[in-house]
Amino acid sequence: MKPKLTTNTIHLINQVQLELTAPFSDRCTLLFAVKPALGMGHFSIQLIEEESPFLIVREWRPDRQTSYPAGIFDLNDVYIGERRLVLLHADYAFIQGIKDLDRGMKKSEGIVLDGADYSLIVGDETIRWILTDQLSPELDAALSKLCALAGFEPGYWK
């Protein structure tokens, strides 16, 4: 494959976000993605509802040989780590409950200098936010638990 080279980090981040949020299959019914503007921590968690439901966890870290010297990036060579996690019945029921939580966003008074772009996709509905204080306490706690189920450290996504 011919390299697709760029020196523009925005193009690199857009490619990463595209790959993180691409549905694993048409049976993806919930997707939570965290995409920091700069730095570490890009990941997504997808619920795949098959006979035995499972999570797909994708993660990108910019320290994985993504660039050549002088800040040249090959957009065809972006490595996204992917793990498949089998769900226990109780965990599946908990994740199903996220779909029923209030997903309304509060107006935030905060200022973001270098924040993250969060998105939650449930069915055909996509919700985006930039500050975690915009979430209801219930949704905040549920997403924290979802991240813990996916193997992330407490507070990693915030």
| Residue 45 belongs to some domain of the structure | yes
Question: Which domain, by its residues, includes 120?
Answer: 25-60+80-149
| Residue 50 belongs to some domain of the structure | yes
Specify the DSSP element, H or E, that contains 84: strand 81-86
Model pLDDT, residue 37: 63
The model carries a pTM of 0.85
Closest CA to 31 of 125, 116, 106, 112: 125
Model pLDDT, residue 68: 59
Q: How many domains does the chain have?
A: 1
Model pLDDT, residue 35: 82
| Residue 15 belongs to some domain of the structure | no
Q: Which residues of the chain have pLDDT under 50?
A: none
| Residue 102 belongs to some domain of the structure | yes
- CB burial of residue 88 (10 Å; 0-12, 13-18, 19+): exposed
| Residue 154 belongs to some domain of the structure | no
| Residue 142 belongs to some domain of the structure | yes
| Residue 7 belongs to some domain of the structure | no
Task: Determine the Cα–Cα distance for residues 141 and 108; give it in Å rounded to an integer.
Answer: 18
Q: Dmax over Cα atoms in the chain, in whole Å?
A: 49
pLDDT in tens, 51-92: 999 999 999 876 555 555 667 777 877 788 899 999 999 999
